[in-house]
């Protein structure tokens, strides 16, 4: 009997495990089907020389090409893009920097500088041009001290801000990128930082500049003439590229050449970041990536905020007391293949007919799903534009779909249904397996009893 029970248990366990393994697969498959219609190419397609590289859509953040994008690398002076970002975010562009002793003398001899002196004063704006055009290391230290009081605090600020942007493998020790073993980032992380910097039009103006003058100061009687270093916007360089908006160069012996570059054609703006390049490989690889990106993809506007905003009445005891405007927090863009035909796109709005519960600002009220050739290409959440408080905090009433507000997102509801179906199916299979095993065991037991009965009959016959 114990053996029979053991057999039943083993049969049930094996079938249950098999069922869960097989039927869990469609969840991932469904997620794959709902992924963006753009695809990332294999890393060997373009035969890049860079140790790590990324091509990203500057508007949508979608990755169009990647090579070792999460590998830790030394950034060298492209670090200064993060320094510039924090400077712009500090809103201190109108302030004047007085350069300290440490800012002037804490840089490596022979490294990039514009010969600023201790006690010299220039504006933050002028320091930014020195930072991004001439890669002036003392300018980076002066900016750091102006923003956060010390280089150490600024470096902590840099790392923390990187984490806020979604960077996962970045640690900054200084604002200029001079070599330190603990100063590192990745192609992916640096692309996120580069994308964020584009939000400031002043940043874009500076990186597109090839020439700038800093007039005489309290310590320098002569004008300083600053020339940009990025060769893709400097005729007659052979690397000048159509649509290039500039970027930031970097070099140390340990990092070799690093480069961030922006380029825009029509409504499509791309970012390229490359690491560990020798000679002119950083420009050659960047051009390869841009050529690939502009020939294969484009950025399209799927919808404006107003086009998909929904007005939903709020009821209190069947009386309309207010209305919520459910809208996205930004206009909707998507990176698509170059042959994408927007006239074939459709959209479906999933919203309640009315609300009878207290609503907080930015609560998810509805969703809009965009389809192309009957496949989901993007789902957007619509958020409440203000809060509404009701005395009777009842459940959301919707004559259209009778769903709770927390279940409005079709993706959550979809996956929840799949999970329930899998569990129910597994339980049914387990019960069937148990019954089959039980019948088999009963049959085996009956066969054994029959054999013993026949054996006893034969023995009785022989005794006679």
The catalytic site residues sit at: 77, 80, 135
User: What is the number of H-type helices and E-type strands within the chain?
Assistant: 11, 16
Determine the Cα–Cα distance for residues 370 and 282; give it in Å rounded to an integer.
Answer: 38
Can you list the alpha helix ranges (DSSP code H) found in 34-111? 80-89, 101-105
Lookup: tokens for 325? 């405007």
Closest CA relative to residue 172, chosen from 75, 89, 246: 75
Specify the DSSP class assigned to residue 331: -
CA-only gyration radius of the chain, Å: 32
Determine the Cα–Cα distance for residues 98 and 51; give it in Å rounded to an integer.
Answer: 39
Determine the Cα–Cα distance for residues 189 and 251; give it in Å rounded to an integer.
Answer: 18
Closest CA relative to residue 338, chosen from 286, 274, 271, 291: 291
Distances (CA, A) of 457 to 443, 445, 449, 463: 21, 19, 12, 10
Q: Would you call 463 exposed, middle or buried from its count of C-beta atoms within 10 A (0-12, 13-18, 19+)?
A: exposed
Can you list the alpha helix ranges (DSSP code H) found in 309-409? none
Residues with Cβ within 8 Å of residue 313, at least 6 apart in sequence: 320, 322, 323, 354, 355
278 upstream amide cis, omega within 30 of 0: no
């Amino acid at each position: 009997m114990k053996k029979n029970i053991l057999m039943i248990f083993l049969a049930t366990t094996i079938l249950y495990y098999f069922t869960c393994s097989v039927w869990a697969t469609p969840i991932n498959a469904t997620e794959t089907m709902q992924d963006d219609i753009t695809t990332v190419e294999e890393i060997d397609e373009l035969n890049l020389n860079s140790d790590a590289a990324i091509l990203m859509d500057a508007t949508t953040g979608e990755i169009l090409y990647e090579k070792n994008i999460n590998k830790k690398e030394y950034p060298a002076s492209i670090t200064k893009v993060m320094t510039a970002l924090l400077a712009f975010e500090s809103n201190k562009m109108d302030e004047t920097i007085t350069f300290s002793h440490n800012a002037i003398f804490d840089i490596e001899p022979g490294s990039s500088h514009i010969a600023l002196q201790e006690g010299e004063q220039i504006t933050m704006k002028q320091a930014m041009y020195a930072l991004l055009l001439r890669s002036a290391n003392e300018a980076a230290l002066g900016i750091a001290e102006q923003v956060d009081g010390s280089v150490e605090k600024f470096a902590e600020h840099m790392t923390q801000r990187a984490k806020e942007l979604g960077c996962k493998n970045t640690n900054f020790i200084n604002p200029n990128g001079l070599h330190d073993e603990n100063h590192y980032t990745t192609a992916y992380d640096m692309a996120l930082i580069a994308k964020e910097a584009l939000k400031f039009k002043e940043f874009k103006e500076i990186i597109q500049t090839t020439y700038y003058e800093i007039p005489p100061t309290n310590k320098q009687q002569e004008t300083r003439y600053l020339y940009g270093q990025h060769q893709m916007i400097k005729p007659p360089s052979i690397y000048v590229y159509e649509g290039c908006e500039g970027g930031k160069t970097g070099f140390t012996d340990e990092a070799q050449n690093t480069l961030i570059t922006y380029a825009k054609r029509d409504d499509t703006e791309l970012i390229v970041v490359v690491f560990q390049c020798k000679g002119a490989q950083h420009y050659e690889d960047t051009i390869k990536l841009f050529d690939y990106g502009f020939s294969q993809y484009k950025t399209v506007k799927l919808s404006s905020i107003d086009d998909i905003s929904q007005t939903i009445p709020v009821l209190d005891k069947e009386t309309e007391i207010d209305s919520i405007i459910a809208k996205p927090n930004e206009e909707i863009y998507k990176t698509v293949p170059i042959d994408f035909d927007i006239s074939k796109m459709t959209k479906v709005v999933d919203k309640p007919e009315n609300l009878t519960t207290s609503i907080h600002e930015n609560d998810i009220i509805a969703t809009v799903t965009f389809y192309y050739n009957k496949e989901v290409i993007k789902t957007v959440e619509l958020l409440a534009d203000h809060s509404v408080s009701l005395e009777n905090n009842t459940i959301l009433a919707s004559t259209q779909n009778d769903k709770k507000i927390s279940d409005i997102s079709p993706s959550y509801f979809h996956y929840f249904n799949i999970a329930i179906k899998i569990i129910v199916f597994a339980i049914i299979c387990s019960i069937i397996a148990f019954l089959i095993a039980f019948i088999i065991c009963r049959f085996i037991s009956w066969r054994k009893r029959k054999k013993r009965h026949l054996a006893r009959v034969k023995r009785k016959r022989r005794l006679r």
